[in-house]
Amino acid sequence: MAKTLTFNDGKYDLDDKDYDKDYDKDFRGRERRDDRGEKLDLKDEGKGAYVLSSESEGGIKDLYVQADDNPLTLKIVGDSDSTFEDGSINFGDDNDTLIVSTKTKDAEIETEDGDDKLVSNAGFTRLTVDMDEGDDRARFSANDEKFAAKSSSVDMGEGEDRAVFNGPVKDLTINMGTGQDDLFFKGDIKTSTVQLGNDGQRDVIRIADGAKIEGLRIEGAEEGDILYIGNTEYQYNPVDSTWVSENDVRRF
């Protein structure tokens, strides 16, 4: 049963048609339990920051979050076994932040305009992320999971964006969009595609020394774009569509 958490002018509501209407009006400071026994808790930390947690085993399921065009910080917390899944989050415009410490699965995240921040701390599977306009930041870590991110698409949109993958990734589609972007892979890369935006801006991709690469496709590169593998710098040569370095005879 889907629940909707709405933020509007500094107020919030949790709407679930299984709940009594009057009781639903104010979610503040109350424990909520749905028909599966899922218990949600939302703490107001002030200045537009909220912490959402679930004490039920398994974590938070079927939650739809809709924010307005004010800045919002939402932290989704839980132990490393719990999951945020089958949900969708839309942050509206302005500078918003989402920090997820549980595993994240089968969800959609849209941060819209503004300089937004996404931090995923425990694995990211079958997600669709759209960070849209603005200078956005995204960071993905694996924690105890095998992959920091897999089977997902991450679209950073226009603006000067930065995305960091702290652990191994697999089956990703990453679109850095137009604007001068920075992308950093700290772990192994399997069958993934990166789009740099074909934008005349100097994009930089960094791959950590020792990271195994099995199928990385870079599209939308132009003269001026740079690829680092460890400390070796490769420049994009549009004449023959390869990455070349003065310090390495290999060409990619």
- Interface residue list for Ca ion (CB under 5 A): 67, 72, 91-92, 94, 96, 111, 116, 131-132, 134, 136, 156-157, 159, 161, 176, 181, 196-197, 199, 203
Would you say 38 or 112 has its CB closer to Ca ion? 112
Q: What is the closest distance, in whole angstroms, from the C-beta atom of residue 21 to Ca ion in the complex?
A: 26
Q: What is the closest distance, in whole angstroms, from the C-beta atom of residue 204 to Ca ion in the complex?
A: 10
Would you say 136 or 188 has its CB closer to Ca ion? 136
Q: What is the closest distance, in whole angstroms, from the C-beta atom of residue 158 to Ca ion in the complex?
A: 5
Would you say 94 or 188 has its CB closer to Ca ion? 94
Q: What is the closest distance, in whole angstroms, from the C-beta atom of residue 180 to Ca ion in the complex?
A: 6
Q: What is the closest distance, in whole angstroms, from the C-beta atom of residue 58 to Ca ion in the complex?
A: 28
Would you say 77 or 176 has its CB closer to Ca ion? 176
Would you say 85 or 161 has its CB closer to Ca ion? 161
**d(Cα 37, Cα 31) in Å, to the nearest integer?**
11
Distances 181 to 101, 153, 222 between C-alpha atoms, Å: 26, 17, 13
Q: What is the closest distance, in whole angstroms, from the C-beta atom of residue 81 to Ca ion in the complex?
A: 30
Would you say 63 or 156 has its CB closer to Ca ion? 156
